[in-house]
Amino acid sequence: MLDKLALIPLMPFLGFLLNGLFGRRLGKTFVSIVGVGTAFASAILGSYATWEYVHTFHDGERHVDVVYQWFLSGGVGTDIAFQLDPLSIVMLMVVTWVGSLIHLYSVGYMHEEDGYFRYFSYLNLFLAMMLILILGSSYLFAFVGWEGVGLCSYLLIGYYYQTDFAPAAGKKAFVVNRIGDFGFLLAMFLMFMAFGSVDFGAVEKGAIGVGPGALVTGICVLMFVGACGKSAQMPLYVWLPDAMAGPTPVSALIHAATMVTAGVYLVVRSNVLFRMSPTAMAIVAFIGALTALFAATIGVAQNDIKKVLAYSTVSQLGFMFIAAGVGAYVAAIFHLVTHAFFKACLFLGSGSVIHAMGGEQDIRKMGGLRKHIPVTHWTFAIATFAIAGFPLAAGFFSKDEILASALATPYFASLGKVVWAMGTVAALFTAFYMYRLYYLTFAGEFRGTHEQEHHLHESPKTMTIPLIVLASLSAVGGLIGIPHLLGHSLHIPHVLEHWLEPVLTKVAGLRDGAFAVAEQPEIIVMAGSTILALAGWWFAKSKYATRGTAADEAFHENMPGLASTWENKYWVDELYDAIVVKPLHGFSTICWKVFDAIIDGLLSLAAYFIAALGDIIRFFQTGNVRNYALMLFLGVVVFIWVYV
């Protein structure tokens, strides 16, 4: 299997071809079997490859499987090659298994849709592209997957193409991502220029050879611009909340669990380069903290169940970048994994709620769903506890590790404290808005119409099974990264840290990719975030558990300025519209109305002259044979006269 890694992405690609070409004619059963089957096949193949990898390489070496040479031009080139190393394996497991569960869930969720085959072929293509992104052995090949997932994201956001907002949201996602991709491309050009290769290993070696400096910092910052676009960080996060226009399983798979974490993967993958440039790390950490706090505050005032989760995703991605920025790469990947579990569970749960509510997404019209959809309720509750950082749930360990690392980072002491403070406030907001969402949706009295109440029903098995699996993972997923503070006395190692150690290459003169956090800050952070989670919970419970939306109305009354700022997302969309979209639109209109008129006018004028000339000449083209004969005769006469 290790020499056939290409099979892993090829499986869903095959599903894409089959469903895309024949799915419409062969019916929904065929599409379901192919779509879900190929996803699970790649998950099984991936697991088998992992098993073989573990038995072949004992020290976490990098295994590269070259399929063929892509191009070679003047000594610069790259291969189509897949690689397996501990980091790729973590991503592979998350993407294939969570992805397969979401495929399964989609069977139930999308069953009524006409575009069923279209949906599944896009979803399969997405999985194939995501696998190329995480298994590619060079920046360029990973970029192929990077662009591919962007395309699928665009296609799936615009899945409901008959509506006004979905295609617009898709376009927005595509354009904003393009800005980020530009940065990524420039970073790759710099790599080609400086190291003559974009292979992960070669770039790492090249960077170590060159040493810290402007070049490495430039590459890192440009790469982070790309990561900002894909992982929805400020200032390029605006597309992700709009991306909720797509079907809910898509939001779970692409816009929560997998694609949006690609930026984090990229930064961790390039950890040697980042470690050489504390400047770039500071930028990453600060942008991450800013985004985490900013999005968390917006999440407090949103009323669309998916919008709350979308801002929550932006905020959690910010946490991952805090970790990557302060040099705690293991914590970043740890949070990536736990986030994939609980956020996928939350999104799928929200899909189940929307399904039960007959398409209603406004939490003000929900409430009291606890008794109607018990399975959804329980899984959602567990995932809420996990994301809020409730002690012993998955999010507790990963978020604590991030905050403790920020406090203890050896790279920049004072900025680390600022980042830690911002992250802590963001964590408090996270707990609050998640419990607000939970209580408004599931507790209290039902606030929808009578018809909706009558229609309420639990989702089918294909939807509840993935929910149960993901909720279990949200509950116990934190066990892969028990902090040393607790682990030492219980003799449980930090599994993930040990596993990822080989990826964080040790370089002489550079700090290690992992650093120990002293006991004291760890205890402070852990106690602090437990209190915060409980405080957020208590506060949300006291406001929303029984009284419905009364607390929101009171908030609007007492602090109208803050409430409307948060509800309107700080008017960032309006700001971008005013400073980017409007001027661009105006400029395009000028080009269209003025320059186009000039260019087209010149062409039309030339054409007019030619036509006028033709009008004169065509007078001789009578179509009468005898006229032509006469002309011929006269011509001969003139010819003879002149020459003879």
Partner 1 sequence: MIPTSWFLILGAILFSLGVLGVLTRRNGITIFMSIELMVNAVNLTFIAYARELGSLHGLMWVFFIMAVAAAEAAVGLAIFIALYRHRETIDVDEANLMHW
Binding site for partner 1 (CB under 8 A): 618-619, 621-626, 629-630, 633
Name the percent of the chain in helix, strand, coil, to the closest 5.
Answer: 80, 5, 20
* Residue closer to partner 1 (CB basis): 584 or 637: 637
**Residue 639 Cβ, how far from partner 1 at the closest point, in Å?**
15
CA dist list (Å): 557 to 355, 432, 552, 561, 568: 33, 19, 9, 9, 16
**Residue 626 Cβ, how far from partner 1 at the closest point, in Å?**
6
**Residue 617 Cβ, how far from partner 1 at the closest point, in Å?**
9
SS (H, E, C) 44-78: HHHHHHHHHHHHHCCCCCCEEEEEEEEEEECCEEE
* Residue closer to partner 1 (CB basis): 524 or 634: 634
- Residue 272 CA to its chain's centroid (Å): 23
* Residue closer to partner 1 (CB basis): 451 or 615: 615
Q: Which two tokens stand for residue 226?
A: 């790309």
**Residue 609 Cβ, how far from partner 1 at the closest point, in Å?**
18
124 near 19, Cβ under 8 Å?
yes
338 near 477, Cβ under 8 Å?
yes
* Residue closer to partner 1 (CB basis): 508 or 617: 617
Contacts of 380 by beta carbon, 8 Å cutoff, 6+ apart: 345, 346, 349, 350, 353, 438, 441, 442
**Residue 636 Cβ, how far from partner 1 at the closest point, in Å?**
9
* Residue closer to partner 1 (CB basis): 595 or 639: 639
**Residue 642 Cβ, how far from partner 1 at the closest point, in Å?**
19
**Residue 622 Cβ, how far from partner 1 at the closest point, in Å?**
5
Backbone angles phi, psi at 617, to 5 degrees: -70, -30
SS (H, E, C) 256-276: HHCHHHHHHHHHHHCHHHHHH
**Residue 643 Cβ, how far from partner 1 at the closest point, in Å?**
19
CA dist list (Å): 122 to 128, 150, 369: 10, 12, 32
CA dist list (Å): 504 to 202, 285, 327, 436, 511: 15, 18, 10, 39, 10
Backbone angles phi, psi at 407, to 5 degrees: -70, -30
**Residue 623 Cβ, how far from partner 1 at the closest point, in Å?**
3
* Residue closer to partner 1 (CB basis): 594 or 632: 632
Which amino acid belongs to residue 563? A
* Residue closer to partner 1 (CB basis): 51 or 633: 633
* Residue closer to partner 1 (CB basis): 509 or 623: 623
The CA R_g of the chain, rounded to the nearest whole Å, is 29
* Residue closer to partner 1 (CB basis): 564 or 621: 621
* Residue closer to partner 1 (CB basis): 523 or 629: 629
* Residue closer to partner 1 (CB basis): 542 or 622: 622
**Residue 154 Cβ, how far from partner 1 at the closest point, in Å?**
52
**Residue 144 Cβ, how far from partner 1 at the closest point, in Å?**
57
* Residue closer to partner 1 (CB basis): 56 or 622: 622
Counts of helices then strands in the chain (DSSP H, E): 29, 2
**Residue 638 Cβ, how far from partner 1 at the closest point, in Å?**
15
Contacts of 534 by beta carbon, 8 Å cutoff, 6+ apart: 390
DSSP calls for 405-463: HHHH-SS-HHHHHHHHHHHHHHHHHHHHHHHHHHHHHHSS---S-HHHHHH--PPPHHH
d(CA 403, CA 320): 10
**Residue 603 Cβ, how far from partner 1 at the closest point, in Å?**
24
d(CA 152, CA 123): 7
**Residue 71 Cβ, how far from partner 1 at the closest point, in Å?**
55
* Residue closer to partner 1 (CB basis): 214 or 611: 611
* Residue closer to partner 1 (CB basis): 542 or 621: 621
d(CA 94, CA 242): 25
Judging by DSSP bridges, how do beta strands 63-73 and 76-84 pair with one another? antiparallel
Cis preceding linkage at 9, omega within 30: no
Count CB neighbours of 59 within 10 A.
6
Count CB neighbours of 378 within 10 A.
16
* Residue closer to partner 1 (CB basis): 489 or 624: 624
d(CA 424, CA 292): 10
Tokens 């590790």 sit at which residue?
401
**Residue 634 Cβ, how far from partner 1 at the closest point, in Å?**
10
d(CA 386, CA 188): 37
Return the ∠ at Cα 221 (arms to 220 and 223), rounded to 5°: 65
* DSSP 8-class letter at 84: E
